[in-house]
């Protein structure tokens, strides 16, 4: 059983922002899995997350904490379903990758991503898989406040077609990893 976690911030205010790319991937993945009429997320209040359990036993999860506290929801959800850290896959936005690029990594540090840092802290390990999705980096170097504003901004009209392609590519990578193994997905998409 895999726990596939999409990172984002709950609420309409954040829905279309760069930081919610993980939520966007899971929403689209669920639409493809279950169809539009069955895309109902089940809320597990104790775990502070919304989940969908597919027929193969994988669990899609969207933490309902703010991004910087994602670790609380991930830890509670993994405990609730008795899932080991190495069976947790986290899908998230990544400033350090160009828009549209995907990189699958295992057992790595947070690289400045506060949601990932929270997961590492709460799980007590970095022994999980990350699907890092490039959201691009503006031409000038950003300080922390500017970076925060940037990740909480929506994609531009010009970027939306690249984002659609990235969503499709990420879903293909996750499906391939589920069906044929993580190594095959890493070889094809990294």
pLDDT tens string 39-86? 688 999 999 999 999 877 899 999 999 999 999 999 999 999 999 999
Contact partners, residue 124, CB within 8 Å, separation at least 6:
none
Helix H or strand E encompassing 90: strand 88-94
* DSSP 8-state secondary structure symbol assigned to residue 158: T
C-alpha separations of 7 from 49, 128, 183, 184 in Å: 11, 14, 22, 24
Q: Which pLDDT score is estimated for 144? A: 79
Q: Which pLDDT score is estimated for 32? A: 84
pTM: 0.93
Contact partners, residue 157, CB within 8 Å, separation at least 6:
none
Domain borders along the chain are 3-189
Whether the pLDDT of residue 37 is over 60: the answer is no
H helical segments located in the chain: 21-34, 70-80, 114-123, 144-151, 160-180, 182-189
Query: Which one of 3.40.50.1370, 2.60.40.10, 3.40.50.1470, 3.30.43.10 gives the CATH number of domain 3-189?
Result: 3.40.50.1470
Average pLDDT over residues 20-37: 86
Contact, 138 vs 99, CB < 8 A?
Answer: no
Active site residue 140: no
Whether the pLDDT of residue 147 is over 80: the answer is yes
Phi, psi for 30 (deg, rounded to 5):
-65, -40
Q: Which of 19, 92, 113, 140 is catalytic?
A: 19
């Amino acid at each position: 059983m895999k726990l596939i976690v999409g990172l984002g911030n709950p609420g309409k205010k954040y829905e279309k922002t760069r930081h919610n790319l993980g939520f966007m991937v899971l929403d689209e993945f669920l639409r493809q899995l279950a169809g539009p009429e069955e895309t109902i997320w089940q809320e597990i209040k104790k775990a502070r997350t919304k989940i969908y359990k597919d027929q193969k036993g994988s669990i899609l999860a969207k933490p309902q904490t703010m991004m910087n506290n994602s670790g609380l929801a991930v830890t509670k959800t993994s405990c609730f379903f008795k899932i080991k850290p190495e069976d947790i896959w986290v899908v998230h936005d990544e400033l350090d990758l160009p828009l549209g690029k995907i990189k699958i990594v295992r057992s790595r540090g947070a690289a400045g991503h506060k949601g990932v840092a929270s997961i590492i802290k709460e799980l007590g390990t970095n022994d999980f898989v990350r699907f890092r999705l490039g959201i691009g980096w503006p031409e000038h170097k950003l300080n922390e406040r500017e970076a925060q504003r940037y990740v909480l901004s929506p994609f531009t009209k010009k970027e939306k077609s690249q984002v659609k392609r990235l969503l499709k590519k990420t879903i293909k990578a996750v499906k391939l990893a589920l069906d044929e193994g993580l190594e095959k997905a890493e070889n094809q998409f990294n």
